[in-house]
């Protein structure tokens, strides 16, 4: 089977890893950037996704790249920490995961685990210009290097703003829901006074500022904002489509009086090696596949950073899709030449039936949560601080920690399926 995967983030290389173990498969991974994108903030691996990473034998590398974050705590108006949620072995009571890792580090681990496979080829600085054919016979694409290539399956794993998805799925079949919130993140120099905690400062005016350590000697800054007026929303929405300079000007203006270490972070933003200004969105599709094209990861079901489930869903989705494809290919004698559309359609339908309920569950966000964490008045912030203090004390009780479980033992309501083709892979 000849498979084209668009996107070298998390979902794409994870899928490439699993399907490459069938040596009859030939996998090409396209990436529009000239090289692997190693930027990005912290991502969580939890539940059954931890089991999946262990099956891949990659847990030692993940642990090696751990951010060494001690836990999560909040900062009050005087710059003093309160409501700590430290990491505790065997408990998931902290917002910090035991397997905290930077997105870029995880992407590099997955790339290194696949790029040396004889049947996996990475093509950088390359995109799909046009999908010429997508029918029972094949999917044919025109690439940006003016070559035409034919495949049995095309996987769009190129993020929430997937260009590949837009080439095949009508806009009315894709819902991108704005969650009323914007995030800006970048990397700044680390100072001797910085700690290994995830420090979160809730400022008045529906703003938050947080800093997190990384294993590279720098500090990751995150600003979030929830517009409270239509004028603010229009301004931030427009800025999200503008260039870096204008985005930074708006950030400085909006957070000028926020407090804590905001002045320092804003002073470093111009020299930051990375800078991302995003509207927080969810992606939902009526169907994830059409003929020989399927969307995967954020391109199909971005849950938004508010859920903390984006990476886990990408890893799990890739594993299950590969598993269903493996069941199809092992029962088909013609897979090395022309893949039956009926067999492929059945595999893709089973994949979606198995995984969609968990995806939809993971995308559920209580409507009050974003606003509660972004108070627009002093009294609301006081209520939030009191609530956080209470919760931080309650989760210290041993029985609460046992009830919550840990990131490795819990499955988040989704048990990892077993596939015959993957049974030879030892749990590591």
Residues 6+ apart with CB under 8 A from 351: 320, 321, 324
**The predicted structure's pLDDT at residue 408:** 55
**The predicted structure's pLDDT at residue 294:** 98
**The predicted structure's pLDDT at residue 406:** 55
Residue count of the chain: 428
Structure tokens at 126: 């390359």
Do residues 358 and 413 touch, judged by C-beta distance below 8 A? Answer: yes
Beta strand 289-290 with 198-203: parallel, antiparallel or unpaired?
unpaired
Structure tokens at 20: 């490459």
User: For 68-94, b where at least 16 C-beta lie within 10 A, e where not — what string?
Assistant: ebbbbbbbeeeeeeebbbbbeeebbbb
How many other CB atoms are found less than 10 A from the CB of residue 427?
9
d(CA 35, CA 418): 34
What does each of the 428 residues of the chain score in pLDDT, given as a tens digit? 899 999 999 999 999 999 998 888 999 999 999 999 888 888 888 889 999 999 999 999 999 999 899 999 999 999 999 999 988 765 555 677 778 899 999 999 999 999 999 999 999 999 999 999 999 999 999 999 999 999 999 999 999 999 999 999 999 999 999 999 999 999 999 999 999 999 999 999 999 999 999 999 999 999 999 999 999 999 999 999 999 999 999 999 999 999 999 999 999 999 999 999 999 999 999 999 999 999 999 999 999 999 989 999 999 999 999 999 998 744 443 334 456 888 999 999 999 999 999 999 999 998 888 999 999 999 999 999 999 999 988 877 654 455 445 555 555 678 899 998 887 644 34
The dihedral sign for the CA sequence 290, 296, 299, 304? positive
The dihedral sign for the CA sequence 309, 315, 318, 322? negative
Query: 2-65+104-176+284-368 belongs to which CATH class?
Result: alpha beta
Query: Which has the closest alpha carbon to 43: 242, 320, 315?
Result: 315
Do residues 30 and 126 touch, judged by C-beta distance below 8 A? Answer: yes
Residues 6+ apart with CB under 8 A from 349: none
Query: CA-based angle 173:175:179, to the nearest 5?
Result: 175
User: What's the start-to-end Cα distance of the chain, in Å?
Assistant: 28
Query: Which has the closest alpha carbon to 121: 14, 200, 16?
Result: 16
Residues 6+ apart with CB under 8 A from 136: 291, 341
Query: Which has the closest alpha carbon to 314: 106, 91, 41?
Result: 106
Beta strand 207-213 with 218-225: parallel, antiparallel or unpaired?
antiparallel
**The predicted structure's pLDDT at residue 257:** 93
Bridge partners (DSSP) listed for residue 141: 131, 149
**The predicted structure's pLDDT at residue 424:** 62
Where are the alpha helices (H) located in 331-397, listed in sequence order?
A: 341-362, 369-372, 378-394
Note the pTM of the prediction, 2 decimals.
0.91
The dihedral sign for the CA sequence 257, 269, 31, 9? negative
């Amino acid at each position: 089977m000849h498979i084209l995967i668009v996107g070298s983030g998390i979902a794409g290389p994870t899928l490439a890893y699993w399907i490459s173990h069938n040596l009859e498969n030939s996998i090409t991974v396209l990436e529009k950037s000239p090289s692997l994108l190693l930027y990005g903030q912290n991502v969580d691996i939890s539940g059954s996704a931890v089991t999946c990473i262990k099956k891949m034998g990659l847990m030692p590398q993940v642990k090696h790249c751990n951010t060494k974050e001690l836990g999560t705590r909040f900062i009050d108006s005087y710059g003093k920490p309160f409501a700590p949620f430290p990491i505790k072995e065997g408990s998931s009571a902290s917002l910090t995961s035991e397997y905290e890792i930077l997105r870029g580090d995880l992407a590099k681990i997955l790339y290194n685990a696949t790029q040396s496979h004889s049947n996996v080829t990475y093509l950088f600085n390359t995109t799909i210009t046009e999908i010429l054919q997508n029918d029972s016979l094949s999917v044919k694409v025109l690439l940006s290097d003016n070559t035409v290539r034919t495949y049995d399956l095309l996987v769009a794993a190129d993020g929430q703003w997937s260009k590949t998805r837009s080439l095949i799925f009508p806009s009315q079949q894709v819902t991108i829901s704005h969650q009323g919130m914007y995030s800006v993140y970048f990397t700044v120099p680390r100072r001797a006074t910085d700690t290994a905690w995830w420090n979160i400062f809730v400022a008045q005016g529906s703003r938050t500022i947080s800093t997190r350590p990384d294993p590279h000697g720098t500090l990751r800054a995150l600003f979030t904002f929830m517009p409270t007026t239509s004028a603010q929303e229009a301004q931030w929405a427009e800025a999200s489509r503008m260039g870096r300079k204008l985005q930074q000007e708006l950030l400085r203006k909006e957070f000028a009086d926020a407090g804590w270490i905001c002045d320092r972070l804003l002073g470093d933003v111009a020299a930051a090696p990375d800078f991302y200004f995003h509207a927080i969105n969810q992606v939902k599709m009526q169907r994830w596949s059409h003929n020989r094209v399927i969307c995967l990861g954020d391109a199909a079901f971005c849950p938004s950073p508010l859920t903390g489930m984006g990476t886990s869903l990408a890893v799990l989705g890739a594993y299950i899709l590969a598993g269903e494809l493996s069941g199809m290919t092992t029962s088909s004698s013609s897979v090395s030449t022309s893949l039956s559309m009926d067999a492929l359609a059945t595999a893709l339908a089973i994949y979606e039936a198995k995984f969609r309920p968990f995806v939809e569950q993971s995308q559920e966000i209580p409507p009050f949560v974003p606003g509660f964490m972004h108070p627009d008045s002093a009294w609301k912030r006081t209520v939030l601080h009191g609530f956080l203090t209470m919760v931080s004390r309650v989760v210290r009780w041993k029985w609460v920690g046992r009830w919550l479980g840990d990131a490795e033992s819990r499955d988040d309501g989704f048990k990892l399926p077993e596939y015959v083709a993957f049974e030879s892979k030892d749990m590591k």
